[in-house]
Amino acid sequence: IQPFYNTDQEFALVRIYVPGADLKIGELVAAQWSTKTSAWMWLPRQAVVDLGTEAIVFVKERGSFVAKQVVIQSTTPDKVALTGLSSMDEIALNAQFLVDSEGLIRTSK
C-alpha cells in the first residue's frame, strides 16, 4: 500500500495476492479495508539525516534550528516515516544544508 495519498490520482496503489482470482496485472478493483492510525509522520527524505546509528531532523526552536533525534519506521524512495516529533514542530525541509562542516551534530531527545 502506498503510505501516502497522491492528490493527482483518485485511487491508492496496492499490491495484493489473490490465489485463484481471474485478475490481470494492473487491473483496477474496488476494495475496502480498515487499519489503525499510526503516530508516524511522513517527511521528505532530504529532511532526515541518517547518521548510521541514529537519525535526526532539524527542528526550529527560538529562532534557530537544532538537531533532534527521531526513529525511522518506514521509507519510500522519496519519503521517510518516523516517530519522535510533534505535529507542532517546524522542520527544516533540507537538513543537509544544516550539517556543519566538522560533521559533529549534537541532538536533543
What the block records as the C-alpha cell of 40 is 508516524
- Closest CA relative to residue 94, chosen from 47, 57, 43: 47
pLDDT given at position 74: 87
| Residue 76 binned pLDDT confidence (cut-offs 50, 70, 90) | confident
* Residue of higher predicted confidence among 33 and 49: 49
| Residue 18 binned pLDDT confidence (cut-offs 50, 70, 90) | confident
What the block records as the C-alpha cell of 88 is 507542532
- Closest CA relative to residue 40, chosen from 90, 84, 6, 88: 84
pLDDT at 36 over 70: no
Instruction: Please name each of the domains of the chain with its CATH number.
Output: 41-108 (2.40.420.20)
Tell me the pLDDT tens digit for each residue of 96-109: 777 765 555 666 65
- For β-strands 55-61 and 49-50, DSSP reports them as antiparallel
Per DSSP, what are the bridge partners of residue 43? 80
CB-based contact 61:99 (threshold 8 Å): no
pLDDT given at position 28: 80
* Residue of higher predicted confidence among 97 and 82: 82
Tell me the pLDDT tens digit for each residue of 51-61: 888 899 999 99
- Closest CA relative to residue 86, chosen from 105, 108, 64: 108
- Closest CA relative to residue 84, chosen from 51, 29, 41: 41
**Residue percentage of the chain with pLDDT more than 70:** 76
